[in-house]
Amino acid sequence: MTETPQDPTATEPGFVVQAGVHTLRVTTRAIADEITALWNSQIGEDALERDYARVVERDEQWTGPRSVWDHVPDCRTVYYQLAAVEQDGSLSGEWAGQRLRWEFESGSYTALPCRIRIEKQPRGCTEVEAQGTDPVEVAAGFASALGQAREQLS
Contact indicator for 96, 122 with CB cutoff of 8 Å: no
Asked if residue 82 and residue 148 are part of one domain, the reply reads: yes
Q: Which amino acid, one-letter code, is at 45?
A: E
Give the burial string for 89-103 (b: 16+ CB within 10 Å, else e).
eeeeeeeeeeeebbb
32-88: pLDDT as tens digits = 999 999 999 998 788 898 899 999 876 456 666 567 899 999 999 999 999 999 999
Does residue 64 lie within any of the structural domains? no
> Number of structural domains, the chain?
2
Does residue 6 lie within any of the structural domains? no
Asked if residue 113 and residue 48 are part of one domain, the reply reads: no
Asked if residue 148 and residue 100 are part of one domain, the reply reads: yes
Q: Which amino acid, one-letter code, is at 27?
A: T
Asked if residue 80 and residue 133 are part of one domain, the reply reads: yes
CA distance linking residue 29 with residue 2, whole number of Å: 19
Asked if residue 103 and residue 45 are part of one domain, the reply reads: no
The residue range of the domain holding 19 is 15-57
Asked if residue 46 and residue 86 are part of one domain, the reply reads: no
Asked if residue 79 and residue 44 are part of one domain, the reply reads: no
94-153: pLDDT as tens digits = 999 999 999 999 889 999 999 999 999 998 899 999 999 999 999 999 999 999 999 998
Q: Which amino acid, one-letter code, is at 56?
A: V
Contact indicator for 1, 75 with CB cutoff of 8 Å: no
What are the DSSP calls for 25-80, one per residue? EES-HHHHHHHHHHHHHTS-TT--GGGSEEEEE--S---S-SEEBSSPPPEEEEEE
Torsion of CA 29, 35, 41, 44, to 10 degrees: -120
Asked if residue 128 and residue 84 are part of one domain, the reply reads: yes
Asked if residue 147 and residue 79 are part of one domain, the reply reads: yes
Nearest 5°: phi and psi at 24?
A: -125, 145
Does residue 130 lie within any of the structural domains? yes
Asked if residue 25 and residue 84 are part of one domain, the reply reads: no
Asked if residue 80 and residue 40 are part of one domain, the reply reads: no
Does residue 136 lie within any of the structural domains? yes
Does residue 79 lie within any of the structural domains? yes
* Global confidence as pTM: 0.78
The reported pLDDT for the residue numbered 63 is 63
Q: Which residues contact 7 (CB under 8 A, 6 or more apart)?
A: none
